[in-house]
Amino acid sequence: MISRRIPLSSTLNTRDLGGYPTADGKATKFRRIIRSGAPLVLSGEDIALLKESGVTAAIDFRSKAEIVKKPSAFEQSADFNYFHCPFLIGNKDPGSKDEVPSLYARILSDFSALKKIMKIIAEQDGAILIHCAAGKDRTGVVSALLLLIARVDVSDILADYQISYTYLRSDIREKMKRDPNLPSYYGRSDMEYMEKTLEQFFRTYGSVRHYFRKIDLTADEIASVKKKLIE
């Protein structure tokens, strides 16, 4: 049985987007797209596991400043292709839990970054690991988009999004103990954040296909991304 969670030594939130049923009676394939927090170290065992999982490349969504402070192990490794695709918003704090969907909407409106990301996914052979810092916000938004392309039901997209806090909660609680000034929403991936984000997405763009036309992806590129996920 293929496990969705992938136990890398320096991450808590590395997991596969495979196994979700689609509207056309198929399911997303395992070992095609893996979502993660930033792996700062890759042990020999990690590299072997990633290669066994078919990973050939990683896409890092973090800002240059974040990478300078904490370089991705993929950038240092000769075993994988590494792509830096930062969002203009960087690692911005939403300011309140009510503003999380607005923050995600700003990620979705960064058409240049998302076009670059989707083109890499469409063109790259092998499995791809996508990551930001915690693997929750920027990675969560991109993962939701990918599952929408594959025609995964919104309920499953919301369920996938929520898992991040489950895996990160022990680390988050320790950080909150050390810094009592951290807000109560820190590190959370509550279902309502992504639910409101997707509601706003469909109000703004109408459909997934219209959205990708907006970011100037061709029909062939969209089909290639979908093929990556389900064929």
Q: What are the distances in angstroms from CA 158 to CA 61, 118, 164, 187, 192?
A: 21, 21, 11, 16, 8
Q: What is the pLDDT of residue 93?
A: 86
Q: What does pTM read for this prediction? A: 0.97
Residue 231 confidence (pLDDT) above 80: no
Q: How far is C-alpha 154 from the chain's CA centre? A: 16
Contact 14, 8 (CB under 8 A): yes
- The three-state DSSP-derived secondary structure of the chain is CCCCECCCCCCCCCEECCCCEECCCCECCCCCEEEECCCCCCCHHHHHHHHHCCEEEEEECCCHHHHHHCCCHHHHCCCCEEEECCCCCCCCCCCCHHHHHHHHHHHHCCHHHHHHHHHHHHHCCCEEEEECCCCCCHHHHHHHHHHHHCCECHHHHHHHHHHHHHHHHHHHHHHHHHCCCCCCCCCCCCHHHHHHHHHHHHHHHCCHHHHHHHCCCCHHHHHHHHHHHHC
Residue 149 confidence (pLDDT) above 90: yes
Q: What is the pLDDT of residue 151?
A: 97
Residue 229 confidence (pLDDT) above 80: yes
Average pLDDT over residues 34-52: 98
Mean pLDDT for all residues in the chain: 96
Average pLDDT over residues 40-58: 97
Residue 91 confidence (pLDDT) above 90: no
Rg of the chain taking only CA atoms, in angstroms = 17
Residue 3 confidence (pLDDT) above 90: no
Provide the pairing of β-strand 55-60 with 81-84.
Answer: parallel
Residue located via tokens 């409101």: 196
Query: How many Cβ atoms from other residues are within 10 Å of residue 177's Cβ?
Result: 9
Q: What is the pLDDT of residue 2?
A: 84
How far is it, in rounded angstroms, from Cα 29 to Cα 4? Answer: 11
Provide the pairing of β-strand 127-131 with 55-60.
Answer: parallel
Residue located via tokens 């806090």: 165
Domains within the chain, CATH numbers bracketed: 15-225 (3.90.190.10)
pLDDT one-digit tens code per residue, 178-193: 999 999 999 999 999 9
